[in-house]
Each structure stands twice: as structure tokens, then as C-alpha cells.
Amino acid sequence: MPDAPLPIRDGLNPSRLRLPENTRWATVAEYLVERFPDDARRIREKIRDGEVVGGDGTVITFGTPYRERSFVYLYRDPPVESRVPFDIDILYRDDTLLVVDKPHFLATTPRGSWVAETALVRLRRELDLPELSPVHRLDRLTAGVLVFTVRREARRAYQMMFEQRLVEKEYEAIAPRTDDLVFPREVSSRIVKERGSLQAREVPGPVNAVTRIDLLDTDGDIARYRLRPRTGKTHQLRVHMSSSGIPILGDNLYPDVYDVAPRDYSNPLQLLAAAVEFDDPVTGRRTRFASRRNLSAWRHHTPGPR
């Protein structure tokens, strides 16, 4: 994707819109007002103030003709958000990488109703790092190690490392104890997640998701497990634990979906991205970053293996 013609502002990237193939709008302004009727007044103000531009950086005016399949950039006003009441701990920082210990309930990047209250925007603002970018993602409900690049020119090398599965990932989970399974065990299946569906599903077909599960310890009717995914499908760990008969504690999607109030932080998903390890693509050094967090459901609050 080409660089946006507008800079990051207050930690936020400009929105990028592709004008649809429809000729019923005479001007770009007409389309934008119809596209965002609840924000029509603000859209007009942004056009008046020169804050809407085309893909080449040309300022969009009220008279700019509509050109289908062209791109428009503008700053959308973020929604009003309550602060997610957990801090982000910094594990490592230099002029290339920022590695943090993300808390539960904080999204990695803006999406839906979560914009400013995301790890990316918080860190850009608090550390004055406008070019900060995640090289991988953690679900909003998953805590643990999250890696960012500080400089734009370093981004691709680290993203490719994750995309090419050159990173060893280690997770911990708290789930029911079972005497029906032998550990370690490897779960292999085909996982698909369809647009509009909250759950991912295991379906027949070629395997695209593989997870190794080790039993670390038990305490009454619960156990602590180490999960090592060899692939990175959406909700893979949650699906594989659930299909093994040991769904992760605090999981409101697997095996069954149930609603949780948006500001209910009382029962976090007991899943932690405990560590990542890789050969650094810039320095060549073997590098490991480990979380300092513990999963709250573990009665003894025992740190995981490091």
C-alpha cells in the first residue's frame, strides 16, 4: 500500500477511502456527505479547511469531480472512548524496536469502537513515536509480548519475519484439568473464519493450523498449559484448546458464545503471549523477549518458564 499523502496526526493514521464504481455523484463532496450522513457537518468543515485530499495529495474542494476507483484521504473524528484501565509495560526499547507487555482488553490497532484506546495509538502519543507500527498482532483479549518497529524503514524486515513463520511463539493458558489426554500433544486441523461470524470453525480439508500443547502444572481442577503454534490462523489457540475439550478459562466465544459487557474487566481470557524468539533480521542476533505477566486464574500466581 502506498504511503498516505497526509501525515499521522495525534497518533492516528488518516482514513483511506476508495471511491466506488458509481457515477451518480457529481463531486467527491456529495459522495462523502452521503457516505457519512451522521458526520455530514464535520465532513463539510474538513473539506472547507483543506483536510481532505486525493491519492496524489491534491486538496479536495466542494467542486472536485467524482472519479470512481480513485482514493481519498481524510481524518475521521475518533469515537468517544472510556480509558481501558490497564497500563502497557515496556520490555525493551531502542531506535529500531519497541517491545511491550500488552494487558488484556486493549486492542493492538484501531478497529471498530476502539481507536485511541489501543496499544498503537497510546504508545505513539505517550512516547512521541509517530512512525510506530506493530509487526504482528494480539487479539484484544490476549495479553503479553507485542513487538513494534519504531522507524518506517525497519518495518518490512520484521513483518516479513513474522509472515514467513521465522518466529518461535510461546503462549500460556489456564484451562480445565483433564485426565483424558496425553501430553505433549499436537493438534492439527483446518480452521476457517467467515466474514460476519464471531467464531472460527474447524472444517474438513488440508491442514492449515498446527499447535503443540504441553501440560506445565495442575492445581485442583485447573491446569497451566504451554501452547506453541506453528501457524497463525485467527483464534487458532482458542479453537484448538476448545476442540481438545479444555477450553481456555474466560473465553466467551469457545465453545459457546456469550455476551460480555464492554466495560466488564472482571474475567479476562486466560491466555498470555508468554515469549517470542527469533534471529533479528537487522543485527543477526538470536533474540528472546518474555512477558512478566501472570494469568490471574492461576491460584499460585506462578510465573511461566522463561
Amino acid letter, 298: W
Pairing of strands 201-203, 185-192: antiparallel
- Strands, E assignment, 42-108: 52-54, 71-74, 89-93, 97-102
Q: What are phi and psi of 155, to 5 degrees?
A: -60, -50
What's the DSSP call for residue 96?
A: S
Half-sphere exposure at residue 250, Cβ-oriented, CA atoms within 13 angstroms: 20
- The CATH number assigned to the domain with range 89-290 reads 3.30.2350.10
Cα separation, 78 vs 108, in Å, equals 16
Q: Check residue 187 and report its DSSP letter.
A: E
Which pLDDT score is estimated for 112?
81
Only one residue has cell 483446518, namely 190
Give percent of the chain with pLDDT exceeding 70. 97
How many angstroms separate the CA atoms of 27 and 265, rounded?
A: 46
What's the confidence (pLDDT) of residue 48? 96
- The mean pLDDT value for 79-85 works out to 90
Distance CA 154, CA 1 (A): 16
* Predicted TM-score (pTM) above 0.85: yes
Q: What is the mean pLDDT of residues 210-217?
A: 98
List phi, psi (to 5°) of 187. Answer: -105, 125
pLDDT higher than threshold 50 for residue 304: no
Q: What cell does 18 get?
A: 476508495
Q: Is 283:270 a contact under the CB 8 Å cutoff?
A: no
What confidence tier does 1 reach under pLDDT thresholds 50, 70, 90?
Answer: low
Peptide bond before residue 281 is cis, with ω within 30 degrees of 0: no
Q: Is 15-74 assigned to CATH 3.10.290.10?
A: yes
Say whether pLDDT at 169 is over 50.
yes
For residue 154, give the amino acid letter.
A
pLDDT tens-place string over residues 103-144: 999 999 998 888 999 999 999 999 999 999 999 999 999 999
Q: Where are the alpha helices (DSSP H) in 37-136?
A: 40-48, 119-127
- Report the chain's mean pLDDT, rounded to a whole number: 93
Average pLDDT over residues 33-57: 94
DSSP state letters, 226-283? EEEESS--TTHHHHHHHHTT-PPTT-SSSSS-----TT--SS---EEEEEEEEE-TTT
Query: Which residue ranges make up each domain of the chain?
Result: 15-74, 89-290
- b/e 203-227 (16+ beta carbons within 10 angstroms → b): eeeeeebbbbbebeeeeeebbbbbb
pLDDT tens digits for range 13-25 = 999 999 999 778 9
- Reply yes or no on whether the pLDDT at 305 is more than 80: no
101: cell is 507487555
* pLDDT in the model for residue 299: 67
Q: Quick check: 215 pLDDT over 60?
A: yes
What's the pLDDT band for 265 if we cut at 50, 70, 90?
very high
Residues with Cβ within 8 Å of residue 29, at least 6 apart in sequence = 43, 44, 47, 60, 61, 62, 63, 64
Report, as an integer, the average pLDDT of 189-218. 96
What CA–CA distance (Å, rounded) separates 235 from 218? 24
Longest dimension (CA), the chain: 71
pLDDT, position 300: 53
